[in-house]
């Protein structure tokens, strides 16, 4: 979705966060719930679905390929699927807006169906390379024509039957893994993905829940996921837990702003997603898990977070796959710690909605934070708990996570930080600013 009118936002500083909140449904799980339900035979019901622009782009794409998807007055989404192999030729190109997850996963889905689909996106998404997905899908027989640099717009000519492959991920990427598994659904035989480093496993958990024959073998060197093709997926009732990536902004905000004490309800704590919580606890953050439980096969808890003095650490590189989307807000936490935090092992940040390493380096640097940029991360010298200088207008580069991360930084700044455009936040967290106002007790009049 193109944002033609920038929406600047001046961050209200030095206001403690207090109260309780519920974050939106997990984005990764929401995407997959819609896709897998669209491939099941019968009606699935999804509650807690994230209703941000990225997930709505997935819903629109699945409708365009034949699934019947409706949101009820009870906030439950009902999906009547077409069955594995039943996707139809869409009448027009699929517009993905800013959603890289939608694009990469749907490319996999289309690759093993006898249809031809063109994918388009906004300026940010069109700058993101798709080559790492194109490579394995081409090995399976799909014919993919991309714009220069392997970018959107691109066309996928699916093939049926596709060729099952065993594919070793060259970099840790849940999106590439999921794209290959989705292609494998309508492929006879066994499709295998080998992960040298484990990534988020929502696809594996949910595919098994829908009835796919999927096994995971753990060895000392790797993780091997094997999927038997052409299953009959059965409809499910799915409850989407709260998104740990969205919760991450509040975990850091409450940790750095003096006087803060919040409870974030219903946060998904899948072991492949809690790298930020692990890193923050290593830094001394006060994060307590309340009422741990299991919802829809995923571990969930309420998190109480109170302001704490953070200490710099060397972030273990092996945490990168479990916190790749949270690095920008981790960089913010580091800006307020005592000492020099080094956070590396995150090459993937270079090819997100923006180059998140360069963009966060520029943003923090403009606010007076001392940093050193590396190819795979940043080293940041913190304030020891005091406010950062601030006083800058931040170029968010149409990246929702950059915008929200720098809002968090601005909550403890000596001079006002202004975000140049907060419109992209709607892609993943439409209620972010309403929640901010509630936790900080700001009104429109106060902010104005």
Q: Is residue 325 annotated as a catalytic residue, yes or no? A: yes
Give which of 419, 357, 360, 428 is closest to 394, Cα–Cα.
419
Establish whether 434 is an annotated binding residue: no
Question: Which residues touch 417 (CB under 8 Å, ≥6 apart)?
Answer: 10, 11, 13, 367, 390, 391, 392, 393, 394, 406, 407, 409, 410
As given in the structure block, the two tokens for residue 399 are 């990246």
**Closest Cα to residue 279, out of 325, 241, 334?**
334
Instruction: Determine whether the annotation assigns residue 27 to a binding site.
Output: yes
Handedness of CA 91, 29, 19, 436 (dihedral sign): negative
| 236 assigned to a ligand binding site | no
* β-pairing verdict for 190-195 and 166-168: parallel
Do residues 97 and 121 touch, judged by C-beta distance below 8 A? yes
- Selected catalytic residue, list 26, 122, 325, 399: 325
Q: What phi and psi values does residue 437 have, to the nearest 5 degrees?
A: -60, -40
32 is in an annotated binding site: yes
Distance of CA 203 to the CA centre of its chain: 14
Backbone angles phi, psi at 206, to 5 degrees: -75, -35
- Taking only Cα atoms into account, the Rg of the chain, rounded to an integer number of angstroms, comes to 21
Question: Does 205 appear as a known binding residue?
Answer: no
Only one residue has tokens 């024509």, namely 145
Contact 306, 281 (CB under 8 A): no
Number of H helices, E strands in the chain: 14, 25
- Chain mean position to CA 243: 8
438 among annotated binding-site residues: no
CA distance from start to end of the chain: 28
* 397 carries a ligand binding annotation: no
- Burial label for 74, CB within 10 Å (0-12, 13-18, 19+), is exposed
Q: Determine whether the annotation assigns residue 237 to a binding site.
A: no
CB 15 within 8 A of CB 442: yes
Residues that constitute the known binding site for 3-phosphoshikimate: 27-28, 32, 173, 175, 325, 352
Active site residues: 325
Residues that constitute the known binding site: 27-28, 32, 100, 128, 173, 175, 325, 352, 356, 401
Residues that constitute the known binding site for phosphoenolpyruvate: 27, 100, 128, 175, 356, 401
């Amino acid at each position: 979705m193109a944002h033609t009118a920038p929406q600047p936002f001046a961050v209200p500083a030095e206001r403690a966060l207090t109260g309780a909140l519920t974050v939106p449904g997990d984005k990764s799980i929401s995407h997959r719930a819609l896709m897998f339900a669209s491939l099941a035979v019968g009606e699935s019901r999804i509650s807690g679905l994230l209703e941000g622009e990225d997930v709505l782009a997935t819903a629109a794409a699945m409708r365009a390929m034949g699934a019947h998807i409706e949101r009820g007055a009870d906030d439950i989404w009902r999906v009547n699927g077409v069955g594995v192999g039943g996707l139809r030729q869409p009448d027009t190109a699929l517009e993905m807006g800013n959603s890289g997850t939608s694009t990469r996963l749907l490319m996999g889905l289309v690759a093993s169906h006898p249809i031809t689909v063109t994918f388009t996106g906004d300026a940010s998404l069109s700058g993101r390379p798709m080559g790492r997905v194109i490579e394995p899908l081409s090995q399976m027989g799909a014919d993919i024509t991309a714009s220069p640099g392997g970018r959107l717009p691109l066309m996928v000519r699916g093939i049926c039957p596709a060729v099952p492959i065993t594919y070793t991920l060259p970099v840790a990427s849940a999106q590439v893994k999921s794209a290959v598994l989705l292609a494998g659904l309508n492929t006879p035989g066994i499709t295998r993905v080998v992960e040298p480093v484990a990534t988020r496993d929502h696809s594996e958990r949910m595919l098994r829940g829908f009835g796919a024959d999927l096994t995971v073998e753990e060895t000392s060197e790797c993780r091997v996921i094997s999927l038997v093709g052409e299953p009959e997926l059965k409809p499910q009732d799915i409850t989407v837990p709260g998104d740990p990536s969205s919760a991450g902004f509040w975990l850091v905000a409450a940790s750095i702003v003096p006087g803060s004490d919040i409870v974030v309800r219903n946060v998904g704590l899948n072991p492949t997603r809690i790298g930020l919580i692990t890193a923050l606890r290593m830094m001394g953050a006060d994060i307590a898990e309340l009422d741990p439980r299991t919802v829809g096969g995923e571990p969930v808890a309420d998190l109480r977070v109170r302001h704490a003095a953070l200490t710099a650490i060397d972030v273990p590189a092996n945490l990168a796959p479990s916190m790749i989307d949270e690095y920008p807000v981790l960089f913010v936490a580091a800006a307020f710690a005592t000492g020099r935090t080094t956070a590396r092992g995150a090459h993937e940040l270079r090819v997100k909605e923006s180059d998140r390493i360069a963009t966060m380096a520029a943003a923090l640097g403009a606010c007076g934070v001392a940093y050193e940029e590396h190819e795979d991360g940043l080293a940041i010298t913190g304030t020891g708990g005091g406010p950062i200088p601030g006083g800058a207008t931040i170029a968010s580069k149409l990246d929702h996570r950059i915008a929200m991360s720098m809002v968090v930084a601005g909550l403890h700044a000596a001079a006002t930080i202004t975000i140049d455009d907060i419109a992209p936040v709607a892609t993943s967290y439409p209620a972010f600013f309403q929640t901010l106002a509630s936790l900080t007790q700001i009104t429109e009049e106060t902010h104005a």
